[in-house]
Amino acid sequence: MMLLFRDSLRAAFGPENGIFLLIVTGIGITSWMQTARIVRGDVLALKEREYVLAARSIGTPARRMITRHLLPNVLSPIMVSAALGLATAIITESALSFLGLGFPSDFPTWGKILFDSVDRMTAFPERVIWPGLCISLTVLSVNYIGDGLRDALDPRIRGL
């Protein structure tokens, strides 16, 4: 995608915005399927539960059944999957920038900083350690935020 659409998007939206849109679109297109599979599996399991069957038998509209019964129970796996997806997107963007397929050379990203400092790694190891540590800590903190959101939003944990 970078080789096919980089120049046309740079011309249309500018060098930084065009590459940003391309990276976000590419990561978004390739990463939604795992979350959709998790949500589909949970919804298929939940729609056979007793409370959903009881709501269906008394004539509850589908929209109300989704917002009242299915969505609160599916929200927890969605949050966890979104947090893991965000962490994966951070790592993917860093890897693309490290390989030279990311943002332009004058736009600082952690992957680009790693790429620029590989040549001088033996003389200045801190130039490789700090960006790698920042990437790791950011991914770890996003995962902890996802776990905290799951604990806060899961109706089975809250006792609802």
pLDDT (tens digit per residue) in 72-122: 888 888 888 888 888 888 998 888 888 888 777 778 888 888 888 888 888
Q: What pLDDT does 41 receive?
A: 93
Contact 10, 18 (CB under 8 A): yes
Tokens of 89: 């997107």
Contact 91, 136 (CB under 8 A): no
Out of 25-34, 62-71, 88-97, 102-111, least confident range:
102-111
Domain-wise residue ranges, the chain: 2-158
Q: What pLDDT does 21 receive?
A: 85
- pLDDT, the chain, mean: 85
84 Cα distance to chain centroid: 6
**Burial of 22 (C-beta count, 10 Å sphere; 0-12/13-18/19+):** buried
Flag whether the pTM goes above 0.85. Answer: no
Q: What pLDDT does 139 receive?
A: 93
Q: What pLDDT does 160 receive?
A: 53
Query: Closest by alpha carbon to 65, among 74, 56, 78, 75?
Result: 56
Looking at residue 70, what DSSP letter applies? Answer: I
**Burial of 43 (C-beta count, 10 Å sphere; 0-12/13-18/19+):** middle
Query: Closest by alpha carbon to 5, among 29, 26, 22, 20?
Result: 22
